[in-house]
């Protein structure tokens, strides 16, 4: 049974061209705003802007291939080569270097509410073990690391507008613990991700590429968050 393929009309091409141009312009503006919000020196800023440009190139490619209805060639999707994956056994054999802890920060997403689990407030305050919440366990793990190695690893919480106020109140109880906690609303969380979700066509072959774009936006936001909050 043959499948009839619909050809695009000139009006369809014109419509898609216009919407893609607007989407690209919105994304470019959002990325520029993200770059302007960073507090970086000239060298780091140049590197960060280069990463944003690379992402924008990927985003433009997504728009073009979505319009042309490019299909994914699954035969070209391969697993990484063995020499590209570092096994855990090899990592565990490396000599312990405590000095690297001075470069470490633990960052956790803290934007979700626990309403679907019967909890009022952030999901991180749900009790999971012996009266401890998710957040309690995270604090205890990092505090153990700081005490064990006399380090100062901070915990950074990326809140949403729904969880920010409650989180600021909750973290006060850890003031006597050996851990520095900073929390703030994820910078650029609305502009960048909202554009991507609005462009998401349901049940298309290019969903995999959209997923890569969304993950990339999150990584860019994480990077900006770290450089702004790390001491």
Residue 87: pLDDT over 80: yes
Summarised one tens digit per residue, pLDDT across range 154-206 is 998 888 888 888 888 889 999 989 998 887 765 444 443 433 333 333 444 44
pLDDT of 16 higher than 60: yes
Note the pLDDT of residue 82.
84
pLDDT at 213: 55
Please list, in sequence order, all residues whose beta carbon lies within 8 angstroms of the beta carbon of residue 212, skipping any fewer than 6 positions away: 58
Instruction: Pick 157 or 20 by higher pLDDT.
Output: 157
Strand partners, 106: 155
pLDDT at 51: 81
In this prediction, what percent of the chain has a pLDDT beyond 70?
71
For residues 110 and 167, the answer to whether their CB atoms sit within 8 Å is yes
Taking the CA atoms of 186, 191, 192 and 194 in sequence, report the sign of the dihedral they define.
Answer: positive
pLDDT at position 11 is: 64
Per the model's pLDDT, the better-predicted residue between 115 and 189 turns out to be 115
Per the listing, tokens 């995999």 go with 208
Name the DSSP class of 104. -
| pTM, full prediction | 0.51
Count the residues in the chain: 231
Per-residue b or e along 5-23, where b marks 16 or more CB atoms closer than 10 Å to that residue's CB:
eeeeeeeeeeeeeeebeeb
């Amino acid at each position: 049974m043959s499948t009839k393929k619909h050809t695009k009309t000139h009006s369809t091409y014109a419509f898609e061209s216009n919407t893609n141009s607007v989407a690209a312009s919105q994304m470019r503006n959002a990325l520029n705003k993200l770059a302007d919000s960073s507090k970086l020196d000239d060298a780091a800023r140049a590197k960060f802007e280069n990463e944003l440009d690379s992402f924008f190139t990927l985003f433009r490619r997504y728009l073009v291939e979505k319009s042309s209805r490019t299909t994914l060639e699954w035969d070209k999707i391969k697993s990484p080569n063995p020499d590209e994956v570092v096994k855990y056994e090899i990592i565990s054999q490396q000599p312990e270097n405590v000095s690297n802890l001075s470069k470490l920060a633990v960052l956790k997403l803290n934007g979700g509410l626990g309403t679907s689990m019967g909890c009022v407030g952030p999901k991180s305050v749900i009790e999971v073990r012996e009266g401890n919440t998710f957040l309690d366990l995270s604090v205890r793990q990092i505090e153990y690391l700081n005490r064990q190695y006399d380090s100062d690893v901070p915990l950074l919480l990326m809140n949403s507008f729904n969880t920010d106020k409650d989180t600021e109140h909750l973290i006060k109880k850890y003031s006597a613990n050996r851990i520095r906690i900073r929390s703030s609303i994820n910078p650029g969380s609305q502009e960048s991700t909202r554009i991507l979700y609005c462009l998401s066509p349901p049940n298309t072959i290019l969903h995999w590429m959209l997923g890569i774009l969304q993950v990339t936006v999150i990584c860019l936001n994480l990077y900006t968050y770290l450089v702004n909050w790390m001491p």
